[in-house]
A and B are shown apart, each in its own frame.
Chain A
Amino acid sequence: MFSKKFEIFLLPVISVFAAMLVGAILIFSVGENPLVVYWIFFKNSLFSLNGIGYTLFYATPLIFTGLSVAFGFRCGLFNIGAEGQLYIAAMAVTLVAIWLDGWSAWFIIPVCMIVSFIAGGIWGGIPGLLKARFGGHEVINTIMMNMIAWSLVNYLVVGPFHREGTQILETDFIPEAARIPRIHELIPIIPKTLPLNMGFVVALLACLVTYLILWKTRWGYEIRAVGISNSVSKYAGINVNKNIVMAMFIAGGFAGLVGISEVMGYRYTFHDSFSSGVGFIGIAVALLGRNHPVGVILAALLFGALIRGSLFLDLNFDNLSKDLVMVLQGVIVLFVATDKLFKKLLSYVGIRGKEA
């Protein structure tokens, strides 16, 4: 038998490799050489300074949404609403930043960061409140909140806040003072074209804060207790409903922080449909990362690398498109979800090893 800790680390790794194997079969069946494809893939995402930078850039919003889903899971809640939460937060950040034009960066940046958290938090907190107050299921309600968020931000960017003189669906740009630095401004050897920004550092900090809250404070003790058992928590005098609302608020808040990396650090405007599913990939990130902040970082890096690598598929291969990454993501999730299969396999190998 493998030790529990080893298993926690090993199972996701096996899942990823199994998914790559399935991907290889797929690649082979459309007439390409899997080894060449994977080489191109990872050469461009991991084996150059520029590639790593892009991988980190793509990983940044995934850390936020992965953290959001993971935090909810720890309280026994399935937050499918990260996508809507991040859209609302990004729009809120944009509008507040534009509104605060003229203030110094020392004021405007912290305010915008807080706004992104609170806006996402409110959007996540509403389904939490509905669950606590009326028993409405958070899965249904977060999905519904996604629909409302899409429609709302779309209306705002097409209508009242559309930037004049452009066909692109974007708002006005946020003021210079609201923009956070790109990494190349701080470390000169980084290529100037790289959009990686301080949002990545915020993401790492968010992971640290999550770890501290969940495992070092009484609030985290209660949130995890509620996640394990409502009835035990009630017996222990823990206010289950309060914790559900709080966990959904914080989960939504983390998803909202995408507004920092994407609006304040990269686009400097609200661009319609900018997210393209980051909130949903966050579910996969949380699953693969075992709902632990460190796991979330590792999983987000992997998915970031996949996104980066995929951009070179269309360019280099006739029979492949970047959709291959969607397939890989799907298969990874499938394997993570069916980890019992690998557990069985592992225990079999373990017993065999002992007898030999």
Chain B
Amino acid sequence: MMFAVRLQQITKRFAQTLANDAVDINIRQETIHAIIGENGAGKTTIMEILYGFYQADAGEIELFGKKKKIASPQDAIRNGIGMVHQHFMLIPPMTVAENIILGMEPVSRSGVLQLTQAEEKIRKLSDDYGLEIDPQIKVENLSVGLQQRVEILKALYRDVEILILDEPTAVLTPLEVKEFFQILRRLKAQGKTIIIITHKLEEVLEISDDVTVMRNGKKVGELPTSEATANILANMMVGREVLFELNKTPVTPGKTVLKVEDLCVTVDDKPRLKNVSFELKEGEILGIAGVEGNGQTELVEVLTGLRKLDSGTVWYLGDDIANLSARKIRELQIAHIPADRAAHGFLSTYSNADNQILGFHYRPPFCRKNGFLDFSRIAKNAEELVEKFDIRPPLADIPTGTLSGGNQQKVIVARELSQQPRLLIIAQPTRGIDIGAIEFIHQQILDLRSDKVAILLISAELEEIRSLSDRTLVMFEGEIAGEVSSDTFDMEKVGMMMTGHH
């Protein structure tokens, strides 16, 4: 059997942490190989070593049976390795062809750019692999799913044999994922070797031939996918038993906490929310499903005082809270866990203790009347939350920016829940965090529900919405496209609603 890639005893150290510890990975030619692991398991690092982005401290790389030194991404491409990153490296106002040839522009002897030739080659590649991309269209006019195909084309244009994809489905709708998998199968059929980094177990089981599981920088297993189940993989990833079924007890909804009527918001002359109305009761979890960018962000911003609305009312326990400031809304015991934690949720260089008072820092018990902060109270608060929410490392005085994504999220969740909210607005609560933390945060949300808190859950992960919410609204282009209750939740149907098909 021929291996496309053999990584042997790869070790990489960043300052104090051992990102990869003597990792061996063997990737068979013309297969789809999944690399899975929690955040910080070292899966992206080892692939970036293969792509020449980092140099391993020790270990060897073998490509198609030959030992290779890969000094840079350019070097990797020369050796037939391409990588599509989680964040696309495309220039929106340029055309597909212009983006693809960037860095290796074909020119005639006199130095004139030969764009038509390149476009021809790209069109042919696109046809060969069924990508359906017009090389002359501008990237800004393409959906995220199609932009991803441009990234793949970029690699194919450079004649790569091995394609590394980092969390490729994170940005796709369920329908797009299906199409994307078909493309991967076609690439495999035509002789390419594909490595896919992911943390979604169902996808691993569906698409891959082999799977490597990593944990804490080490390889903990490598097996044919046919021998794997979600349970086996999850246990290997986390290193213990993982409960897939949540402990969801029946709760009778109480009185109405939030009532939104005819909400309209316009951003840059484009309507982003159109007559959105809904109701949310005590002890109820209302899910908002939808492809990102269909008004969810604006909805959250309006409800949390970060954006002014054009018209409509927001009733909270009988009072209209529309257009109140973010501080006023916090004072009404409305908690907000933001979708993008780095951009909104915490201050990266502030300590955990300081981040755990953010938003409440100006009032007792954390601040005295004279404006001086009460550091003994702040420290005590931090200690309690670090312990209760199992934040690791369990230190109150280290910068939150140095924690893993899951622990950063726990810092935010701990803070927002610490002030006894009556309404919790929580967006993408488990994005980019590991299974252990997901399990923990989901259980926290359900516990709040039992405590009669009203919860608005915005998520792009249908599975998350399905398992948590009592009712679900689907948003499409700023409107509520439909509603489903938990007992009639049908993935297919919701997926259709998300893309505007009824």
Smallest CB–CB gap between B342 and chain A, Å?
9
Query: In the bound complex, do residue A232 and residue B345 qualify as a contact, i.e. CB atoms below 8 Å apart?
Result: yes
Q: In chain A between 216 and 237, which residues have their CB closer than 8 angstroms to a CB of chain B?
A: 216-219, 221-222, 224-225, 228-229, 231-232, 234-237
Interface residue? A8 (CB, 8 A): no
Count class of interface residues, chain A:
10 to 19
Bound complex: CA of A239 vs CA of B326, how far in Å? 9
Interface residue? A25 (CB, 8 A): no
Interface residue? B358 (CB, 8 A): yes
What number of A-B contacts does a CB cutoff of 8 Å give?
Answer: 64
Interface residue? A1 (CB, 8 A): yes
List the A residue with the shortest CB-CB distance to B366.
Answer: A218
Residue-wise, chain A 115-145 has the 8 Å CB interface mask toward B (1 for contact) of 0000000000000000000000000000000
| A218-B361, A219-B371, A231-B343 known; A237+B349 contact, CB < 8 A | no
Interface residue? B15 (CB, 8 A): yes
Cβ–Cβ < 8 Å partners of B348 in chain A = 228-229
Bound complex: CA of A237 vs CA of B338, how far in Å? 13
Bound complex: CA of A224 vs CA of B373, how far in Å? 14
Smallest CB–CB gap between A273 and chain B, Å?
40
Smallest CB–CB gap between A349 and chain B, Å?
15
Q: In chain B between 158 and 195, which residues have their CB closer than 8 angstroms to a CB of chain A?
A: none
Cβ–Cβ < 8 Å partners of A235 in chain B = 304, 306, 326, 336, 338, 344-345, 359
Bound complex: CA of A267 vs CA of B424, how far in Å? 62
Residue-wise, chain B 190-209 has the 8 Å CB interface mask toward A (1 for contact) of 00000000000000000000
Bound complex: CA of A330 vs CA of B232, how far in Å? 62
**Contact of A221 (CB < 8 Å), options: B304, B325, B361:** B361
List the A residue with the shortest CB-CB distance to B359.
Answer: A236
* Chain B CB within 10 Å, residue with most, of A1, A216, A219, A221: A221
Query: In the bound complex, do residue B371 and residue A237 qualify as a contact, i.e. CB atoms below 8 Å apart?
Result: no
Cβ–Cβ < 8 Å partners of A238 in chain B = 327
Query: In the bound complex, do residue A237 and residue B359 qualify as a contact, i.e. CB atoms below 8 Å apart?
Result: yes
Bound complex: CA of A271 vs CA of B340, how far in Å? 54
Query: In the bound complex, do residue B358 and residue A216 qualify as a contact, i.e. CB atoms below 8 Å apart?
Result: no
Q: In chain A between 283 and 309, which residues have their CB closer than 8 angstroms to a CB of chain B?
A: none
Query: In the bound complex, do residue B327 and residue A237 qualify as a contact, i.e. CB atoms below 8 Å apart?
Result: yes
Query: In the bound complex, do residue B326 and residue A234 qualify as a contact, i.e. CB atoms below 8 Å apart?
Result: yes
Smallest CB–CB gap between B390 and chain A, Å?
24
* Chain B CB within 10 Å, residue with most, of A219, A234, A237: A237
Query: In the bound complex, do residue B346 and residue A232 qualify as a contact, i.e. CB atoms below 8 Å apart?
Result: yes
Residue-wise, chain B 446-468 has the 8 Å CB interface mask toward A (1 for contact) of 00000000000000000000000
| A217-B371, A218-B361, A225-B350 known; A232+B343 contact, CB < 8 A | yes
Interface residue? B312 (CB, 8 A): no
Interface residue? B347 (CB, 8 A): yes
Bound complex: CA of A239 vs CA of B362, how far in Å? 12
**Contact of A228 (CB < 8 Å), options: B15, B304, B349:** B349
Query: In the bound complex, do residue A228 and residue B350 qualify as a contact, i.e. CB atoms below 8 Å apart?
Result: yes
**Contact of A234 (CB < 8 Å), options: B306, B328, B346, B361:** B306
| A235-B306, A236-B358 known; A218+B350 contact, CB < 8 A | no
Bound complex: CA of A221 vs CA of B347, how far in Å? 11
Interface residue? B367 (CB, 8 A): yes
Residue-wise, chain B 320-333 has the 8 Å CB interface mask toward A (1 for contact) of 00000111111000
Query: In the bound complex, do residue B327 and residue A217 qualify as a contact, i.e. CB atoms below 8 Å apart?
Result: no
Cβ–Cβ < 8 Å partners of A232 in chain B = 343-347, 358
Residue-wise, chain A 1-13 has the 8 Å CB interface mask toward B (1 for contact) of 1000000000000
Q: In chain B between 32 and 86, which residues have their CB closer than 8 angstroms to a CB of chain A?
A: none
Query: In the bound complex, do residue B373 and residue A221 qualify as a contact, i.e. CB atoms below 8 Å apart?
Result: yes
Smallest CB–CB gap between B324 and chain A, Å?
10
Interface residue? B479 (CB, 8 A): no
Query: In the bound complex, do residue A237 and residue B326 qualify as a contact, i.e. CB atoms below 8 Å apart?
Result: yes
* Chain B CB within 10 Å, residue with most, of A222, A225, A232, A238: A232
List the A residue with the shortest CB-CB distance to B362.
Answer: A218
Query: In the bound complex, do residue B325 and residue A229 qualify as a contact, i.e. CB atoms below 8 Å apart?
Result: no
Smallest CB–CB gap between A303 and chain B, Å?
27
Smallest CB–CB gap between A102 and chain B, Å?
37
Bound complex: CA of A228 vs CA of B347, how far in Å? 7
- Closest 8 A-B residue pairs measured CB to CB? A237-B327, A236-B359, A237-B326, A235-B344, A236-B358, A217-B371, A218-B367, A228-B347
The contact sample of 5 A-B pairs, CB cut-off 8 A, is A219-B371, A232-B344, A232-B345, A237-B327, A237-B329
Given contacts A221-B354, A225-B347, 16 further A-B contacts (CB under 8 A): A1-B16, A219-B371, A225-B358, A228-B348, A228-B349, A229-B343, A231-B344, A232-B343, A232-B346, A234-B344, A235-B338, A235-B344, A236-B358, A237-B328, A237-B330, A239-B327
